[in-house]
Each structure stands twice: as C-alpha cells, then as structure tokens.
Amino acid sequence: MQRPILWIHGEALGPANPALVAHPGRPAVFVFDSALLLGRSASTGDPSSPAEPVSLKRIGFLYECLLELPVSLRRGDVAEEVLTFAAAHGADGIVTCASNDPRVARITETLLRQLPVQVLAVEPFVQLDGPVDLGRFSRYWRRAEPQVWAGWREPGP
C-alpha cells in the first residue's frame, strides 16, 4: 500500500489510533453509520426489539471527539462512504484499527471486496497468550492481574 486512506471508526477516536500513528498526514475518514444511529444494529440495540434511534447526546459526543482528530466526516452507509472517499483520494488501500464490534468486522469484509484493508492492533491493556478462560472475571483476573502489574515500577525513595 503506497497511498492508503485511513478509516477511523467509533472504537478508536483518540490520537493513539494506530492507523493515525502509522500514517500521519494521510487522508482519514469517519462515517456516521446511518443504520447504527437509527438503532438498527446490535451495537446500538436489541436485535429482537423495534429499533430506537440513539440520542443526539451520543452523536454530539462523537462529533466533538472527531473534531480534535485530522479526519473528514461523512454519513450514510459506512462501506460505501469509505470507498467513495478512497476513490476521491486515489487510494490503493485502507488502513484501520482493530475492534471487537462484529459490525466493524462485517464492514471490513465489504471493503475488502474492493480494496486491500490493513487492520492494526491497539496497544492491549494486557497481553495474554493462548486461550483465556472468560468463564468468570476471577479466572481472567487471576491470569491478567500479575501481568498488568508487572508494568508498574515502585517509586524510589
């Protein structure tokens, strides 16, 4: 990828977004996802209930976060808008950042049909190798807590 655009999504609206860090100055876009904001997604509503739009408070919060980032703003169908933006900038690929939201994964698949997509990982809270038992928090934490605290250095006298 020589001329990527960056797709910024709602899971990584900070300067530590690895796409922004890896490609400073490259055109970046965020798309207000119309269906999601209308509540028609499992990210904003119960799939078995009638959709309810999210309130303006949430949109305003995202908007204010986005104004502090070098990112163009669009609204509509996310994949379509990202691809329009990519075409306008003559991009040969898309760089974005990892997310746990299945909706982000589905959009990424759609993008992949048109352009290569590179998904960069965010710095993890704690690195745990191999399968992690999430059956209960205590099992997870028994493994995670020592790793987290291994990064702390007691202040000197």
* Contacts (CB under 8 A) with other proteins, residues 41-100: 42-49, 52-75, 81, 84-85, 88-89, 97, 100
Smaller CB distance to other proteins: residue 116 or 142? Answer: 142
Which of 23-49 are b and which e, b meaning 16 or more Cβ less than 10 Å from the residue's Cβ?
A: beebbbbbbbbeebbebbbebbbeeee
What CA–CA distance (Å, rounded) separates 46 from 13?
24
What's the closest the beta carbon of residue 133 comes to other proteins, in angstroms?
10
Is 10 a binding residue for other proteins by CB under 8 A? The answer is yes
Residue 30 φ then ψ, to 5° = -120, 140
CB of 117 to other proteins, least distance (A): 18
* 3-state secondary structure (DSSP) of residue 108: helix
Contact pattern for other proteins over residues 125 through 154, marking x by CB under 8 A: xx-----x-xxxxxxxx--xx--xx-xxxx
Footprint on residues 107-126 left by other proteins (CB under 8 A): 122-126
Q: How far is the CB of 132 from other proteins (least distance, A)?
A: 6
* Cα Rg, the chain, nearest whole Å: 18
